[in-house]
Chain A
Amino acid sequence: MLFNKALLIYYNFIMMKKLAIVIVYVFLLAFNANAASDGELVLNKSESKEIKDCFEKLNRATFALNQGLDKTLIKPIAKGYRKLPTPIQKGTKNAVTNLSNLITIPNNILQGDIKTAMINTGRLVVNTTVGLLGTVDVANKMGFPKYEREDYGQTLGKWGVGPGCYLVLPVLGPSTIRDTAGSFVNVLGGDPWYNVSIHGNNEFLSEGVYITSKAMGGIDFRADNLESLDNFERNSIDFYASLRSLYLQDRENKIKNNQRGNVEVIYKDEEDWEEIENK
């Protein structure tokens, strides 16, 4: 209980302390993205070919801290989690995914995708009721379209806000100024699950439940990627740079809703390939 409270205080502390800075950054980025341009060009101009790692030294230090935390705490827990019976793991994954609908739906609306918002609302209702609080993905069995998570960082990206500088957050991992700002929206009322858990004033939910649900999401993700991350780390000459690249590519794909990538998004500059001849 005490540990949960400490985590919550820490989480809020990180979020609140940087809030002012981030708001200023977001406005600056938004202004920059919109200045003297419009339409499609806005997003393109807000993206740079070079990665903006303005706080690289600090980021690398935080990355090392996170790596230590991962090796001593998160990875062993994820390994233990993998030993649980498959139905428990699957039920946990389904429940965590179901809760993420509460963030996805408002973002579908903010991105103007009303149809998907309605589908996801249907999915949330079906899975929460018939699917026993989301532990069974009934909607999938009923033939609902594949679920794609959306968050406030993606919505900001969709609106033309560039990623800004790359950030590595303690415990939470890779992010950007834009995506961190998006995360703040969750604790400022944008996440109904956070609202009812923390401020809901009811006997069933508490900050402990909220933190546990978020932690379970993290453990489930880590358990899914145990071998692939180990393999990737072993074969990288600069693991920090590799993860940064993968994170930024993944966010670009998600913002543009490319499930399997797109040549223009992936390479940014096709000429870079064209000028290489097989000598």
Chain B
Amino acid sequence: MKKFLTLIFLLNFSISDAYSIQPDVFVQSTVNRASEILSKNISKEEKINNLKIIAKETVDIKGIGFYSLGSVRKVLNDNQIEKYFELFENYFLKSFSSRLSEYTNPKIEVQNKEVINKNYTIVKSVLVSTPDRPEVKIDWRIYTKNPDNPLIRDLIIEGLSLARTQKEEFASILNSNDNDIKVLFKTLKDFSKNY
């Protein structure tokens, strides 16, 4: 019986290990997918739509949305949170895919990874240099709470965090308007509408 339990445990362990995705492998496969789309001979609109699909699958949009809100997230009611996520997702997907669509055939090489704790790993990579542009260091903050489904929570480009920048941008809008969440809602809505 003891042997049987040990076997079950080992089998279970090896199965779960086999299905968990290493954060560095996850990043490399994600950038390969994005790179394939960007190098395709399709319209910018199509590229943006395809990039949005990848972003929905690989980026923790809700997590980033929460982080970007800062301490204000603690005082919002359920309706406000629901509305915020709807607006944030639209804003994020438009902004993210449009930023990426400017690049054609970017080559990103994953170098190594640094485990911060069980929830987070930083994957280090470089955007390979071209005659027009120097090498760019890009680090990926990967949320690994569910090892079977790692998710991107931040991009750190040459030491500059996009999540922190976004958080400080949102804080600036809220601070200038007495922390009125409606102003942030309107700003996000206008961005998505006018883009």
| B176 → A minimal CB distance (Å) | 8
- How many angstroms between the C-alpha atoms of A241 and B102 in the bound complex? 23
- Mark contacts of B45-71 with chain A using CB atoms, 8 A cut-off: 1 yes-contact digit, 0 otherwise: 000000000000000101100110010
- How many angstroms between the C-alpha atoms of A260 and B170 in the bound complex? 24
| B70 → A minimal CB distance (Å) | 8
| B2 → A minimal CB distance (Å) | 37
* Contact A241:B173 (CB < 8 A) given known A227-B102, A263-B116: yes
Report if A40 contacts B (CB, 8 A). Answer: no
The 6 closest A-B CB pairs, nearest first, are A261-B159, A241-B172, A245-B168, A253-B159, A245-B165, A260-B137
Report if B95 contacts A (CB, 8 A). Answer: yes
| B77 → A minimal CB distance (Å) | 15
Report if A258 contacts B (CB, 8 A). Answer: yes
Report if B86 contacts A (CB, 8 A). Answer: no
| Complex partner residue of A278 from B60, B141, B170, CB under 8 angstroms | B60
| Complex partner residue of B168 from A51, A231, A258, A276, CB under 8 angstroms | A51
- Mark contacts of B122-141 with chain A using CB atoms, 8 A cut-off: 1 yes-contact digit, 0 otherwise: 10100000000000010101
Across the interface, name the chain B residue whose C-beta is closest to A232: B99
Across the interface, name the chain B residue whose C-beta is closest to A56: B176
| B57 → A minimal CB distance (Å) | 14
Report if A242 contacts B (CB, 8 A). Answer: yes
A interface, size bucket: 20 to 34
Report if B84 contacts A (CB, 8 A). Answer: no
- Mark contacts of B111-124 with chain A using CB atoms, 8 A cut-off: 1 yes-contact digit, 0 otherwise: 00000100110101
Interface size for B (C-beta < 8 A) is 41
Q: Enumerate chain B residues within 8 angstroms of A263, measured Cβ to Cβ.
A: 116, 122
Across the interface, name the chain A residue whose C-beta is closest to B71: A272
Q: Can you report 29 residue pairs joining A to B where beta carbons are below 8 Å apart? A: A56-B176, A227-B102, A231-B99, A234-B98, A235-B95, A237-B187, A237-B188, A237-B191, A238-B169, A238-B187, A241-B173, A246-B165, A249-B164, A250-B159, A253-B159, A258-B159, A259-B159, A260-B137, A261-B159, A261-B161, A262-B159, A266-B159, A267-B161, A270-B116, A273-B67, A273-B119, A274-B119, A278-B60, A278-B63
* Contact A278:B139 (CB < 8 A) given known A246-B160, A249-B159: no
- Mark contacts of B5-29 with chain A using CB atoms, 8 A cut-off: 1 yes-contact digit, 0 otherwise: 0000000000000000000000000
| B51 → A minimal CB distance (Å) | 13
Contact A238 B63 (CB under 8 A): no
- How many angstroms between the C-alpha atoms of A279 and B82 in the bound complex? 12
Report if B151 contacts A (CB, 8 A). Answer: yes
Report if B145 contacts A (CB, 8 A). Answer: yes
**From DSSP, what is the main secondary structure of chain A's interface residues?**
helix
Contact A244 B168 (CB under 8 A): yes
Report if A210 contacts B (CB, 8 A). Answer: no
| B89 → A minimal CB distance (Å) | 14
Contact A249 B139 (CB under 8 A): no
- How many angstroms between the C-alpha atoms of A4 and B98 in the bound complex? 41
Q: Enumerate chain B residues within 8 angstroms of A272, measured Cβ to Cβ.
A: 67, 70
Contact B169 A241 (CB under 8 A): yes
205-246 of chain A: CB within 8 A of chain B? 227, 231, 234-238, 240-242, 244-246
Contact A260 B161 (CB under 8 A): no
* Contact A279:B62 (CB < 8 A) given known A227-B102, A238-B172, A260-B137: yes
| Complex partner residue of A238 from B98, B139, B164, B173, CB under 8 angstroms | B173
- Mark contacts of B155-191 with chain A using CB atoms, 8 A cut-off: 1 yes-contact digit, 0 otherwise: 0101111001100111111001000000000011001
| B48 → A minimal CB distance (Å) | 12
Across the interface, name the chain A residue whose C-beta is closest to B173: A238
Across the interface, name the chain A residue whose C-beta is closest to B191: A237
* Contact A267:B191 (CB < 8 A) given known A260-B139, A273-B153: no
* Contact A267:B139 (CB < 8 A) given known A253-B159, A276-B67, A278-B60: no
Across the interface, name the chain B residue whose C-beta is closest to A230: B102
| B86 → A minimal CB distance (Å) | 15
